[in-house]
């Protein structure tokens, strides 16, 4: 049960200052546009927070590229919109934190090979919902999601979109409950990313073979027996090695119910 409200609240309140700058190639105005600063929630997605920024920069670009899809990069690395913002920051800036986070805005030369197209917010919602479903299948064999109604799904999504903690957790609470007598999820929805952004996802049980709770230390020795000093970062912090996996999944999952963890 995700009942450590203090941790949940701290995670939820995490925000990042971001500075958007228009790429020079797209600039069509004599006047240099001002950079656009904004605070965005770490748990949100870029398409949900960039409307105002886009309006600001539309004035400075040419008419024909105004209809093109906008995309972002950090240090020449295109940012995938379907990952949470906070995770992207941890992935690219985790070692060398520099705030505010300076991103470049592009309107042309969409990197078709790297990014998915995102024409509107419905696509984001669909992707989010499918990820939640995948996590639920791993945790409860999909039973919780399938018993929810459409309005519950909507509430989950709107809570995230509008940054409403109570509205979101009223529904997400049910996803974090563990069923059955053996107390705990069947598997932990966990994705571990290396520095290059390569993702690895494995079936990981929250318990050891003898039935005791599995902690991070045990997980690491299981996954990376050759690297004794590896550390894990999520939500901008390093996870203590004696944290139980079950608790981690319940409290420190992103809104899509996955634990996105960076290796460092």
Which parts of this chain interact with another protein (CB under 8 A)? 3-4, 6-7, 10-11, 13-17, 34, 36-39, 97, 99-100, 235-244, 247, 252
| Residue 48 Cβ vs another protein, minimum distance, rounded to whole Å | 17
| Residue 216 Cβ vs another protein, minimum distance, rounded to whole Å | 8
* H runs (alpha helix) in the chain: 5-13, 46-49, 51-58, 85-93, 121-140, 143-147, 150-161, 165-176, 216-223, 245-252
- Pair type for strands 259-263 and 71-74: unpaired
User: Are residues 117 and 77 in contact, defined by beta-carbon separation less than 8 angstroms?
Assistant: no
| Residue 199 Cβ vs another protein, minimum distance, rounded to whole Å | 23
Tokens of 177: 């409950």
Q: Closer CB to another protein, residue 10 or residue 222?
A: 10
SS (H, E, C) 197-217: CCEEECCCCCECCCCCECEHH
Q: Closer CB to another protein, residue 3 or residue 154?
A: 3
Tokens of 12: 């939820």
| Residue 213 Cβ vs another protein, minimum distance, rounded to whole Å | 10
Q: Closer CB to another protein, residue 126 or residue 237?
A: 237
| Residue 124 Cβ vs another protein, minimum distance, rounded to whole Å | 23
Q: Closer CB to another protein, residue 17 or residue 111?
A: 17
CA distances from 158 to 3, 19, 162, 172, 225 (A): 22, 26, 6, 12, 42
| Residue 185 Cβ vs another protein, minimum distance, rounded to whole Å | 16
Other CB atoms within 10 Å distance of the CB of residue 261: 21
Phi then psi dihedrals of residue 236, to 5 deg: 80, 5
User: Are residues 244 and 238 in contact, defined by beta-carbon separation less than 8 angstroms?
Assistant: no
Q: Closer CB to another protein, residue 34 or residue 69?
A: 34
Q: Closer CB to another protein, residue 53 or residue 144?
A: 53
């Amino acid at each position: 049960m995700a009942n450590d409200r203090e941790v949940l609240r701290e995670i939820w309140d995490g925000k990042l200052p971001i500075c958007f700058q228009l790429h020079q190639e797209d600039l069509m105005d004599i006047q240099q546009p001002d950079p656009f600063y904004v605070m965005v929630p770490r748990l949100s997605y870029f398409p949900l927070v960039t409307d105002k920024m886009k309006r600001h920069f539309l004035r400075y670009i040419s008419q024909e590229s105004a209809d093109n899809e906008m995309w972002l990069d950090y240090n020449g690395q295109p940012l995938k919109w379907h990952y949470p913002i906070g995770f992207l920051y941890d992935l690219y800036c985790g070692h060398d934190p520099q705030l505010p986070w300076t991103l470049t805005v592009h309107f042309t030369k969409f990197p078709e090979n790297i990014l998915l197209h995102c024409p509107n917010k419905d696509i984001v919602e669909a992707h989010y919902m499918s990820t939640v479903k995948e996590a639920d299948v791993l945790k409860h064999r999909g039973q919780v999601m399938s018993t929810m109604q459409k309005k519950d799904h909507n509430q989950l999504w709107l809570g995230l979109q509008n940054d409403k903690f109570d509205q979101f957790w009223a529904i997400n609470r049910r996803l974090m409950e563990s069923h059955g007598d053996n107390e705990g999820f069947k598997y932990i929805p966990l994705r571990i990313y290396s520095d290059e952004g390569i993702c690895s996802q494995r079936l990981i049980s929250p318990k050891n073979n003898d039935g005791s709770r599995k902690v991070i230390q045990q997980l690491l020795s299981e996954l990376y027996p050759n690297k004794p000093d590896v550390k894990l970062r999520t939500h901008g912090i390093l996870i203590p090695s004696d944290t139980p996996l079950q608790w981690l999944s319940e409290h420190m999952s992103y809104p899509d119910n996955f634990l996105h963890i960076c290796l460092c």
